[in-house]
Amino acid sequence: MNDLVRPFGPAQPVVHDWHLDSVVSALHAARADWRQSQGRLRDFSTREFPSRTALRDIVATLAAALFPMRLGPPGLRDSSEDFFVGHSLAVALDALAEQVVLELRYSARLNGLSAEDIEAQSVAIVQQFAAALPDQRRLLDADITAAWQGDPAARSVDEVLLCYPGINAILHHRLAHLLYRAGLPLVARIIAEIAHGETGIDIHPGAQIGAGFFIDHGTGVVIGETAVIGERVRLYQAVTLGAKRFEQGEDGSLLKGQPRHPIVEDDVVIYAGATVLGRITIGRGSSIGGNVWLTRSVPPGSQISQASLQAASP
């Protein structure tokens, strides 16, 4: 038979030798070196960190419980709505408690603290989290209404919830912020980064955000950890609420948790591409124009544009 002519039939799998024994051994050595450099010489027979995959599922289940007829399963009916919500919450909160335990254990190890009563702490934290969910639903209703009222392209509040990346981001943020305030910065940050990856909107879970918040379009929005945002604030794409400088300690390391991001008061609009830096205050009812670079406070009712900033420059 001609070597170029093969009979029809399933192709035989080609087995390659990737020299995996040596690769696996070298990776083991690299992990051991890193753990030794970090002072983490211990038994790693159990998972050490919260799971990004688990937290993604938890947030999706919580979102369905918050908005069952829109984010729940397609076959859900009014008659079984409460049962579905109760079941979903039970599943999500049990799973969340497991992730909380992982972070509390990790934090205790990292800080050389006792790991006693972690199970009880996790239950208390998740109970407080669950009790706050009705208020978070009302906050999200205000956010959804603000988006519907603020965007002429929106045909319904249902479209806003189902389709708008800004609403997806703020839903994640409101849940993450509760956990951040409860002393779970890692779990909260993972939830925030899940939303960041899905929407391109980067909101640190420490940011304080009032009701009726609307991010239009959203891609490229950045909101820093210590930002404080009032009620009925609207941001457009590529807005940054960032830090101007980072304070250092005597040893040269960055100081953590210092107020370094803007305060945005009620009823402010910040248009696309604007960059607002430092612990400055944007007064109530102000409008910050597109592509403005702002590093100073402005009083209530200000109308800031590139042209007005250039005219005010010496």
> Mean of the pLDDT values across residues 187-202?
98
pLDDT tens-digit map of 109-142: 777 777 778 999 999 999 999 999 999 999 999 9
What pLDDT is stored for residue 36 in this prediction? 87
Highest mean pLDDT among 257-261, 294-298, 310-314: 294-298
What pLDDT is stored for residue 42 in this prediction? 60
Please choose, from the candidates 7, 106, 94, the residue with its C-alpha nearest in 3D space to the C-alpha of residue 58: 94
- Answer for the pair 98, 54: CB distance below 8 angstroms, yes or no: yes
Residue 261: DSSP 8-state: S
> Mean of the pLDDT values across residues 185-193?
98
What pLDDT is stored for residue 254 in this prediction? 73
pLDDT tens-digit map of 208-222: 999 999 999 999 999
Q: Is the pLDDT of residue 61 over 90?
A: yes
What pLDDT is stored for residue 13 in this prediction? 78
What pLDDT is stored for residue 249 in this prediction? 73
Q: Is the pLDDT of residue 2 over 70?
A: no
Residue 13: DSSP 8-state: P
Q: Is the pLDDT of residue 7 over 70?
A: no
Overall pTM surpassing 0.85 (yes/no): yes
Give dist(CA 21, CA 24) in Å, integer. 5
What pLDDT is stored for residue 133 in this prediction? 98
Q: Is the pLDDT of residue 8 over 80?
A: no
Q: Which two tokens stand for residue 153?
A: 């392209």
* Averaged confidence pLDDT in the chain: 92
Band the pLDDT of 62: cuts 50, 70, 90: very high
> Mean of the pLDDT values across residues 270-283?
98
> Mean of the pLDDT values across residues 164-172?
98
Task: Please count the other Cβ atoms lying within 10 Å of the Cβ belonging to residue 162.
Answer: 13
- Set out the domains of the chain in order of their start, with CATH numbers: 48-200 (1.10.3130.10), 220-314 (2.160.10.10)
CA-CA-CA-CA dihedral for 241, 247, 253, 257, to nearest 10: -60
